[in-house]
Amino acid sequence: MKFAEFVPGTKTRIEGGKSRRKVVGVKSESFTSGNVRIFLYYLGGTLEEYVSNLPVPVFVFRTEKRSGLIRARLLGAKHVTGDVITFLDAHCECTEGWLEPLLARIVDNRKTVVCPIIDVISDETFEYITASDMTWGGFNWKLNFRWYRVPQREMDRRGGDRTAPLRTPTMAGGLFAIDKEYFYELGAYDEGMDIWGGENLEMSFRVWQCGGTLEIIPCSHVGHVFRDKSPYTFPGGVSKIVLHNAARVAEVWMDEWRDFYYAMNPGARNVPVGDITARRELRDRLKCKSFRWYLETIYPESQMPLEYYYLGDVRNAETHNCLDTMGRKSGENLGITYCHNLGGNQVFAYTKRQQIMSDDNCLDASQKNGPVKLVRCHGMGGNQAWIYDEVSRSIRHENTGQCLQKPEASDMNLPLMRRCDHSLGQQWIMQSEFKWQARRSDDR
């Protein structure tokens, strides 16, 4: 290979020690033969002077105005003359031997897109913390990227070898390497997306559905500064940009699950997606597989509804109120409130694994009398196994034998677990006007 060329991101200013630690780190911990070039993008006026003193060739290209991560990366890719492009966020630091394992996989198969394990750099102290090699990339009902534990299925495929490449359903998107020609064959980035967000899922779906492979390489480590909140603004607000980008992903790549995404995120229906004709034509031209194929073959552990008995609201027969996540996070209590028939926080899936799940959280009870909590789904039964009896309409917790019951007057938003007595307050109706259903036949 002539070059391994790096296109750092646009999101962090060059600020003394932090960024110099990064730029110098790319050079000193990768090849020393001189076959490395780094491109930086930033609008600050002193950047050229700063990088002129670095011991590695650094090229500065200016976007003239704020264009966002996606378009800035496309600008960088346009200037690459080597065989491989490696994209890195601006706030990261490379470790010794990080690059060679990535390039080796691309040499073996040019349609392999590879990511390092992303270690954590403290945003307060810059302490370097090695990340686990037992997580991979997934996503939830809102199309937010999430890290989940690697399932046993993938461990078995690798023969239990934790140094072997890990096939991941999605990537975080900030740090990856790809064959330059394949990058363009596959459609580069969706230029209809704005600023940042969703481009990682779009590329992940595209890689898998269109014949490529997406891997995390355990022998490659790059540190990344994870921040509590974004230090910059989004034109029109974060929600508008994120929903716009996610809707483009859903419209082009997710087939009928597009409608499920809209049902879970009603606000996304009113956000213009722009012209997606070219991206749909790209999918047709590459003869890409269906999203059902992706869920069944690449990501059967996904939280997206695929194999389930019921999907919709869960209504108490006595109070006529519905179970509701109340927008709460994992570890917090399940709620119940009036039924609004708008989907969102009141849509639950009763799966063939006997889970009652909302997004990536499942109803979980660790004590006989509750409370029932929302806990990250693990798929192993136990505290998260529930039996719904269509005749008695009871929801019985398998571990404790207790039944889910309406709240008491002391807290009308807290469903209870009590001894099963088949009373009306322990009866739950799983019949909903929420009509989404994944079809069995593929469109493609």
pLDDT of 441 reads: 46
The one-letter amino acid at 64: E
Residue 248: phi and psi, rounded to 5, are -65, -40
The C-alpha atoms of residue 288 and residue 212 are separated, in whole angstroms, by: 10
Low-confidence ranges of the chain (pLDDT < 70): 1-45, 230-238, 433-444
The C-alpha atoms of residue 435 and residue 309 are separated, in whole angstroms, by: 13
The C-alpha atoms of residue 101 and residue 103 are separated, in whole angstroms, by: 6
Which of 204, 211, 167 is closest to 185 using CA atoms? 211
Distances (CA, A) of 310 to 30, 299, 363: 52, 20, 15
Domains within the chain, CATH numbers bracketed: 4-225 (3.90.550.10), 238-298 (1.10.8.460), 308-429 (2.80.10.50)
Peptide bond into 371 cis (omega under 30): yes
pLDDT of 18 reads: 41
pLDDT of 28 reads: 45
pLDDT of 49 reads: 80
Dihedral over Cα of 277, 283, 284, 285: its sign: positive
Q: Is 96 exposed, middle or buried (0-12, 13-18, 19+ CB in 10 A)?
A: exposed
Residue with tokens 């990856």: 176
Residue range 79-105, pLDDT digits in tens: 888 899 999 887 888 899 999 999 999
Give the SS3 label for residue 269.
helix
Residue range 399-436, pLDDT digits in tens: 999 999 999 999 999 999 999 999 999 999 998 766 66
Q: Compute CA 314 distance to the chain's CA centroid, rounded to the nearest angstrom.
A: 27
Indicate the pTM of the whole model: 0.82
